[in-house]
Structure 1
Amino acid sequence: MNRPYTMSEEDFYKLESVRDSIDLVQLLSGEVTRPHSVSPQLYSSFLDLMKDEISTLIQSAKTELSMR
């Protein structure tokens, strides 16, 4: 398999963490029995955290590509 970039082990685990966090929020959203159990502020904080993690991973991939 031809890979256009490589990823450090740390970045790989960050990416797995983002995936697992998204799965958790999706499960929590589906299990809510009361309306508004998960506040908009909680969703906002979660999305902000995921944005930061994904931005870090993208920057790492850019750095790897530019080193070639």
Structure 2
Amino acid sequence: MNDALADLQERFAHQELAIEALNDVVVRQGRAIDALRAELDEVKRELRALRPSPVGGEAADEPPPPHY
């Protein structure tokens, strides 16, 4: 009985360590995802600044393409 209890306690301790390690990975991945989202938002803003929307009237000032 004591051996079985000791075995269960040992397994429980190992599982606690594994859960803590997995939690650390999840936290790091969450931080990385947040950083990537912020970087993506910045790239989107830069792209919009370089390529204004054609709705603003600039596209209407251009002649139609040659196939029309």
Q: TM-score range by the shorter chain?
A: 0.3 to 0.5
Say which structure, 1 or 2, has more relative contact order (CA 8 Å, 6+ apart): 1
TM-score w.r.t. length of structure 1: 0.44
- Higher relative helix content: 2
Kindly name which structure, 1 or 2, has the bigger radius of gyration based on alpha carbons.
2
